[in-house]
Amino acid sequence: MATGVTLDCESFDSALASLGRIFNASPDCISAFLTLPEIGAFYDSKWREMLDLKDYLYSVVIDHFGRPALLDEIFWFHGTRVLPGSTFSDGILPLGVVLPQIKKVLVSVIPDTETKQKLRKVLESNGVGEYLYSLKANDSEHWGPYAMLVRDALFSPDDTHQHDYLGLPEIVADICSGFERSTRINLTSIFSEALRPAIVKFKGHSDDDEGCIASAISYVYTTIHEGGPTDSCMCCFNGEGLQVPATDIVKVEFVDVKSS
């Protein structure tokens, strides 16, 4: 195999360039191959008998270009919503560590004093009353931090069948759900206006390099044929309760959720 390379799916072009290095071929060759109509036609006619699209595409690419290079590094994209100016100077923290700070922020942005006091009381007593909140808050298995391989997937939650992390973090959505159930007060719009969508790009690795490469291939393929990512390109990072150190963060990008 060739020496190790980097996989970066920040954009269609960066993913295509990465695949070119991984398979020792020009990006144009990779793109031209994935544009061949017979690749999609064969899958469409045989999909009931075959692997899923991602695995199928990976198999036809390695049949044509050979085995991929080893990956030295993979870039991941953590989608969230935070206070304007947040720098992630402490890195990306697992939920169990960052949850007290999240609670303080949520209380601080409530403009109405009575509602602020109600939310503070609920959060201090751990009385959110939402099953998913309790599950995530109390079980380190759900602490992440989480991220996606494909940046564009953060803008396509419906197409990729994922939570809308740029809309509101899951734990914040759970708090809103539980609070509304007990008080009939909906805080979603308040938090959405006070917090800004952000994408944190960081460098890391994976226990499944081939799965990451297959996801990158699927991302390029579906972008060519369908205009963007689908669930076939999904590949996620799970920090398993460990912090992503600040030294691994490449950039913090505040984004417009209406466009990528």
Please say whether the beta carbons of 77 and 253 come within 8 A.
Answer: no
Q: Does residue 149 belong to any structural domain of this protein?
A: yes
- pLDDT one-digit tens code per residue, 36-66: 988 888 666 565 555 688 988 999 999 999 9
Q: What total of structural domains would you count in the chain?
A: 2
Give the domain extent around 232: 5-74+203-242
Q: Does residue 253 belong to any structural domain of this protein?
A: no
Please say whether the beta carbons of 16 and 27 come within 8 A.
Answer: yes
Q: What is the pTM for the complete model shown?
A: 0.92
- pLDDT one-digit tens code per residue, 196-236: 999 999 999 999 999 999 999 999 999 999 999 999 999 99
Q: Is-cis flag, bond preceding 145, omega within 30? A: yes
Q: Does residue 251 belong to any structural domain of this protein?
A: no
Q: Are residues 140 and 85 in the same domain?
A: yes
Q: Does residue 143 belong to any structural domain of this protein?
A: yes
Poorest-confidence range of 35-44, 151-160, 238-247? 35-44
Query: Does 3 have pLDDT greater than 80?
Result: no
Q: Are residues 192 and 99 in the same domain?
A: yes
Q: Does residue 30 belong to any structural domain of this protein?
A: yes
Residue 75: closest CA among 215, 234, 203, 216: 203
